[in-house]
Every structure is written in structure tokens, then in C-alpha cells.
Chain A
């Protein structure tokens, strides 16, 4: 490759400042490379992390759609089509999620691994070699310094020999380490290029695989399915609009027609004739409960007849409970606690007495009449009237 500069191994023994200067340039370049590479590593790490997150989130979506089944919606009875449609979507998204997982793995192997290797191995090696060389250089400097101070007098041969030995050892060590260091720096000039290109190659190739795999999965079959769903959704919308329209219309009609029904009682008896032929009736009444010797409370409950029985049901109860058997019972209007519209039902054996209050005079009379009818078993005859 033209232009790649080299640190000359041949000049390492002399170790001139020029050589050190050139080394300085290489070290500066290495630091800049290291800096750039750290940022590149961060950028790639970010892509890799994003891919993992995308993969995980897609997988979660698929799972959540699958779990729609287990939700137990109380009104879920008619939801089989909905459930199976969501299952289908879950399947598509699951396939997508596995494409993402494959891409994640490929990015790990072909992009992150080489980047990490270069950072953790090659660049770190340079730093280590630099340190080792620095130590060797310092050792040599110290040794040569001691050597320079050796006296002219031929005394202490032992010390002299030791110092000379030190210079020899440290100089040899320095020579070795600097050559090792130079070699690493020289090969770095090549490695830094491959370290840039390999991960990018890996990244691109993984993307190509990803798009190929994904397209294979999202076949025409899915597009047809989506078309069907799209049409269904349109239909549901339309149905809903119709339904809503009808309901609003009904509401409007009701609001006008129900107006007279809101008043609890009508002062004019001619407007609301009492029907005395009923054998069934239902509606809200107040029931009197004795709470103590002289005290009582009145509770509003929903009452309805069922065959020959009087039932009651509070709001919140799922089903009605028996109040009393109306067969041969007696019922009459009474005064109670200075309340209007009260009547009393006494069971056949006299044991059960129920005091009730209706909403209006009409309601009161109709309840009395109806209970009388049931009591006399008119509901069993052929001319029973609702």
C-alpha cells in the first residue's frame, strides 16, 4: 500500500532523537486512531443495542397478541374471529422477531466482535508495549548515568563490573522492546484499515441477509391476509356507524316519549288508569325493616312476582330472593310511619308480614290488585292478563 510510513527497525540500536521524533509522530497518530475508534465503537454499540431492543420489543408484541386468548373478557364469547385474527398477527410478528434475532446475532459476530478485538487487543497491546519500552528506556538511562560517573581510579572492580553489566542488560532490553514496539506500530498501519472495513462489511452483509430473510417471510400470502382484515375493519366501522345512528335515533324518540313517565305520580287519575287484571308485576318498592323495638328503616328494592311468589332483588345481586309465597295471602292498604302509598302483605299462615311502600297511588293500587289476583290463583286460569 503506497504511502504507509514505517518505523525503521535498523535505527533502534542507535536510538537517536530523530528516531524518537518519528516514534512521536506514530504515537500521536495511534492516539488519534484510538480516539476515533472509540467513537466508532460507541456508534456501532448503539446500533447493536438498538437492534437488540427492537428484537426484544417485537418479540414481546407477538407474545402479548398471543395472550389475548387468555384475557377472559366477560363479553368474549363472540370473539373467536377476533382472537384468531390476533393469533395470525402474532405469528407474522413472531417471524419478524426471529429475523431481528438473527440480525442481532450477526451484528454481534461480524460487527461488534472485530471492533472489540481491535480495541481490546490490538490497541491495548500498543499501550502495553509503549509502557514496557518506556520502563526499559528509563532503566537504560539510569544505568548509563551511573556508568558515566564511574571513577578513573582502578579501584572497586566489582562495582565497575556490576555497572557495566547493568548497562549491557538494560541496553539489550531496550533494543528488544523498542523493536517489538516498532513492529507493532508498523503492523498497526495495516490493521487500522482492516479494523475499519471488516466491521462495516459485516454490518452491511448482515443487513442484506436481514432484508432477504424478511422479504421471504412477508410473502404475498400475508398481503392478501392484510387486505381481508382491512376490508373487515371497514365493515365493522360501517356496522358501528349504522348501529350508533339507530341508537341515537331511539334515544331521541325515547326522550320525548318518556317525558310523562318521569313523574312519580300523576295528580289526574284519568291520565293513568289503574289496571286491575294483572297477574305479574315488577318495579321498585320501599320495604320496611324493623331495626329495633320502636325504630325501623325503609330500603328501596326491586320487587317482582314469579308465579305464585313475591321476589326481591337489590342492586348488585345477580338473582332475586324469595320474600313470601303469595298463595292465599292477604293484602291491603295501610298507614305506616306517616308514609303514603303503603300496603301490607300477610302470608297464609300469618307468620310472614311484609310492609311495602309504592311510588304512587296508581302503583299502590296495581300492586294490591295484582297480589290479590295471584293470591286467588287467577294467574292459573286461562284468561290471565299481563
Chain B
């Protein structure tokens, strides 16, 4: 890099001619432009650093989320072991990536952002401070000169004249010293700015090179073989999914191709099976809710051995309603509803009125309860 050409000559500082001031203002303008550019550059580099830091955090969050899967204890989590181990491997790799990212972010902070901040906070600030001091010293010298030039010719008040001369000498020295330091700093800036802009770039690029080297090492053959095995697993699952979907489609088709009459609540032509000893289905049960009011609830009833069970929607299991042993069942008229029957316990204390959905259901329930009541289910030929 060739030597810096422009210099403020220290020897010109005492004379303080307008030409020197002119050159000084060129240096000041340059320093002003440099400050502006440096600020922009710093802002941009801080944005890069910010993004890099965020990437590190985001990667860490992803890794954590992957590890979280295991802790979720999904209700249908059986069979998830393969997925869990795969997620853990991914989490590990993502975690490794995260440390790469964090490392890069740190390097950026140290070797890219920090030197530029230093330049601004130290070197550029120094220039503006020295400029201020020089400005003040100049003004003080000017003020002293004005007073000095007004001193009268008459030989009176010689002490005042002597004091004035001292003040001029004093302010002139201060201005000279201030200007010397100021010129010195402005001259040094021409070197400093080169260092200040190239060092961060050097740091940034070196950090990137190191980052890519480490990254490439990380995503070595080991990673590629892991990924291909995961890809295979995903393919397998997809194949199974497709097979399952197809199978279900067939079942659906089959189930939907039944006679429409299956949806009719009351089929006249159905045959009644009178030999059942177990049955399950929806019945309406009559509840007395007040002196004269009643409510009918539609519940799912099923026999279990010698017991009548009932399960409302939402309950996980059925509860016992009545022991059917030696119970009596008969048809009954109730509230102008069709297909009603009543079951009464052997003691006669408990009874309930139920309504079936169709004639067939009504007859079959009555027969079944009868069969159970007479313990036919205990014979050798249960059906």
C-alpha cells in the first residue's frame, strides 16, 4: 500500500494562514464523509451480526423443539420409538450446527464489529474533540487580538498593556498547541481509516472461511449416510400410508355398498332372532325428573353375562344397570311411544321402562332379557 500523500504540515500551524485553514477544511470534510461512511458500514455489519446471532438462537430453538417430542407422551405414541431416535439424531446435528453459528457470531463480534466501534468511539471522537478545542482556542486568540489591537498609543497604563501582551502570547500558544495536536490526529487518520476499514473485512472473511471449513467437515459422509437412511424410512412410511389408504378405501366402499335399508330405523321385513343371550344397542330409557315430568335419554345398552349394562356417550366404560337373573320383562304402553318394554327386578323394587328403535329390536330385546333371566345362557347350547 503506497504511502499516504496528503498531510497537514505542522510547520504551517503557527502562521495559521487562510490557505492552511483551507487545506484543513478539506481534511475536515474528508473526515466528515469518512464518519458518515463508517456509520453506514457499522450499521450494516451490525445487521449481519444481528442476523447471525439470531440464526444461532433459532437453530438452538429448533434443536430443543426436536428433543421435546419425546417428552410429549402422545396418546397414540406407541410405535414412535424410531421417530424419537431419528429426531434425537437430528437434534444433535442441529445442535452442532448451532455451535458453529454461535462461534461465527462471536468471531464477528470480536474481529468485525468491535474494531469498527473502537474506530468510531476512539479515533473519530478524538478528531471531533480536538476540533472543538482548536475552535475554542482560536476564538480566544481572536478575542485577545481584538483587545490588543485597540490598545492606545499613549504611554499610560503600561501594566494593562503588559497584561494584554501576556494574554495574546498565552492564547497564541494555546491555539498553536491545539492546532498541532489537531493536525497530527488528522494526519494519523489517513492511516487509521485504512486499518479501520480493512481489519473488520479481514476478520469477517476469515471467520467465514473458518465457518465453512468446519461446516463442511461436519456434513461429512457420516451425515449423508444418516440422511439417506432417514429418506428410506420416510419412503417406507409413505408406502405403508398408501397401502393403508387403499385398504381403507376398499373397506369403505364395501361398507357403503350395503343395502340402503340398513339405515332405515324400522324395517318391516326383518327376521327376529329369539334365541339371543346377549345383545347391544341404543335404547331410550325413561327417567322421572319430577312429580309429573319425565325425560327420555338415548343410551347404549349391552348385556354382560347376567347383567344389563349401560354406557352414555363420553363414558369410557359401561356401568351396571340391573341384574337380569330372574327378572321379568314385558311389553308396556307408555306416553304414546312405540316399542316400549319394562324390566322389573326379581324383588319388584327396581324397574325401568325402555324404548327400542324398531319392532325387531323391541322383540329381540324382550326375548334376550327373558333368555338371560331364565339363565339359558348358562346351558350348554348358548347362542
Interface, chain A (partner B; CB < 8 A): 1-5, 9-10, 12-14, 16-18, 20-21, 24-26, 28-29, 32-33, 36, 39-40, 43-44, 46-47, 49-51, 53-54, 56-58, 60-61, 64-65, 68, 71-78, 81-82, 85-86, 89, 92-93, 96, 141, 144-145, 147-153, 164, 167-169, 171-172, 175-176, 179, 183, 186-187, 189-191, 193-194, 196-198, 200-201, 203-205, 207-208, 210-212, 214-215, 218, 222-223, 226, 229-230, 232-233, 235-237, 239-240, 243-244, 247-248, 250-251, 254-255, 258-259, 261-265, 282-283, 286, 298, 300, 302, 304, 313-318, 320, 335, 338-340, 357, 359
| A304 CA / B83 CA spacing, docked (Å) | 91
The closest CB in chain B to the CB of A218 belongs to B209
Residues of A within 8 A of B33 (CB): 71-74
| A175 CA / B262 CA spacing, docked (Å) | 11
Closest approach, in angstroms, between the C-beta of B39 and any C-beta of chain A?
A: 11
The closest CB in chain B to the CB of A300 belongs to B145
Which of B269-277, B306-314, B322-330, B374-382 is near enough to bind chain A? B306-314
Give chain B's interface secondary structure class.
Answer: helix
Closest approach, in angstroms, between the C-beta of A179 and any C-beta of chain B?
A: 5
The size of the chain B interface, using a CB distance under 8 A, is: 149
Contacting residue for B10 out of A3, A196, A254, CB 8 A: A254
Q: Is the CB of B55 within 8 A of A54?
A: yes
Residues of A within 8 A of B233 (CB): 197
Q: Which of B1-55 contact A (CB under 8 A)?
A: 1-6, 10-11, 13-15, 17-19, 21-22, 26-27, 29-30, 33-34, 37, 40-41, 44-45, 47-48, 50-52, 54-55
Contacting residue for A16 out of B227, B300, B314, CB 8 A: B300
Q: Is the CB of B313 within 8 A of A17?
A: yes
Indicate if B172 sits at the interface (CB-CB under 8 A).
yes
The closest CB in chain A to the CB of B33 belongs to A73
Q: Is the CB of B336 within 8 A of A153?
A: yes
Indicate if B290 sits at the interface (CB-CB under 8 A).
no
The closest CB in chain B to the CB of A260 belongs to B169
Q: Which of B82, B181, B265 has the most CB of A within 10 A?
A: B265
Q: Is the CB of A240 within 8 A of B192?
A: yes
Indicate if B224 sits at the interface (CB-CB under 8 A).
yes
Q: Is the CB of B48 within 8 A of A339?
A: no
Contacting residue for B51 out of A14, A26, A54, CB 8 A: A54
Known: A43-B61, A152-B336, A212-B216. A236 touches B191 (CB 8 A): yes
Known: A193-B237, A196-B83, A207-B97. A251 touches B3 (CB 8 A): no
Contacting residue for B72 out of A20, A36, A286, CB 8 A: A36
Q: Is the CB of A57 within 8 A of B245?
A: no
Q: Is the CB of B30 within 8 A of A75?
A: yes
Closest approach, in angstroms, between the C-beta of B337 and any C-beta of chain A?
A: 6
Indicate if B117 sits at the interface (CB-CB under 8 A).
no
Q: Is the CB of B216 within 8 A of A47?
A: no
| A150 CA / B265 CA spacing, docked (Å) | 12
Known: A218-B209, A316-B21. A172 touches B263 (CB 8 A): yes
Give chain A's interface secondary structure class.
Answer: helix
Q: Is the CB of B79 within 8 A of A4?
A: yes
Indicate if B59 sits at the interface (CB-CB under 8 A).
yes
| A248 CA / B177 CA spacing, docked (Å) | 11
Question: B299-341 vs A: 1/0 string, CB under 8 Å?
Answer: 0100000000001111110100000000000000100111000
| A9 CA / B26 CA spacing, docked (Å) | 87
Known: A78-B4, A201-B234, A204-B93. A243 touches B252 (CB 8 A): no
| A214 CA / B281 CA spacing, docked (Å) | 68
Indicate if B213 sits at the interface (CB-CB under 8 A).
yes
Indicate if B129 sits at the interface (CB-CB under 8 A).
no
Indicate if B230 sits at the interface (CB-CB under 8 A).
yes
Known: A20-B313, A207-B219. A43 touches B4 (CB 8 A): no
Q: Is the CB of A64 within 8 A of B41?
A: yes
Q: Is the CB of A255 within 8 A of B244?
A: no
The closest CB in chain A to the CB of B63 belongs to A43
Indicate if B151 sits at the interface (CB-CB under 8 A).
yes
Sorted nearest first, the 4 A-B pairs with minimum C-beta distance are A3-B79, A240-B191, A190-B241, A3-B78
Indicate if B206 sits at the interface (CB-CB under 8 A).
yes
Known: A13-B255, A233-B202. A222 touches B209 (CB 8 A): yes
Known: A61-B45, A65-B201, A172-B260. A73 touches B151 (CB 8 A): no
| A200 CA / B59 CA spacing, docked (Å) | 12
Ordered by A's residue number, 26 sampled pairs between the chains whose C-beta atoms are within 8 Å are A9-B252, A24-B314, A29-B75, A29-B76, A47-B59, A47-B61, A64-B44, A73-B30, A141-B298, A144-B282, A147-B265, A151-B337, A164-B265, A168-B265, A187-B244, A190-B238, A194-B234, A197-B230, A200-B90, A212-B219, A235-B1, A254-B13, A254-B14, A264-B169, A283-B15, A338-B153
| A198 CA / B241 CA spacing, docked (Å) | 15
| A76 CA / B233 CA spacing, docked (Å) | 62
Known: A141-B298, A197-B230. A167 touches B336 (CB 8 A): no
Q: Is the CB of A89 within 8 A of B316?
A: no
| A13 CA / B252 CA spacing, docked (Å) | 11
Interface, chain B (partner A; CB < 8 A): 1-6, 10-11, 13-15, 17-19, 21-22, 26-27, 29-30, 33-34, 37, 40-41, 44-45, 47-48, 50-52, 54-55, 57-59, 61-62, 64-66, 68-69, 72, 74-80, 82-83, 86-87, 90, 93-94, 97, 142, 145-146, 148-154, 165, 168-170, 172-173, 176-177, 180-181, 184, 187-188, 190-192, 194-195, 197-199, 201-202, 204-206, 208-209, 212-213, 215-216, 218-219, 223-224, 227, 230-231, 233-234, 237-238, 240-241, 244-245, 248-249, 251-252, 255-256, 260, 262-266, 280-282, 284, 296, 298, 300, 311-316, 318, 333, 336-338, 355, 357
Known: A187-B245, A261-B14. A25 touches B76 (CB 8 A): yes
| A304 CA / B82 CA spacing, docked (Å) | 93
| A200 CA / B255 CA spacing, docked (Å) | 39
Q: Is the CB of B62 within 8 A of A47?
A: yes
The closest CB in chain A to the CB of B76 belongs to A29
Contacting residue for B44 out of A44, A61, A251, CB 8 A: A61
Q: Is the CB of A264 within 8 A of B165?
A: yes
Known: A47-B59, A194-B237. 19 other contacts (CB 8 A): A1-B82, A10-B255, A29-B75, A43-B61, A53-B54, A57-B50, A75-B26, A82-B198, A148-B296, A175-B255, A196-B87, A201-B234, A222-B209, A243-B188, A262-B173, A300-B149, A302-B18, A338-B154, A340-B152
Contacting residue for A215 out of B19, B198, B216, CB 8 A: B216
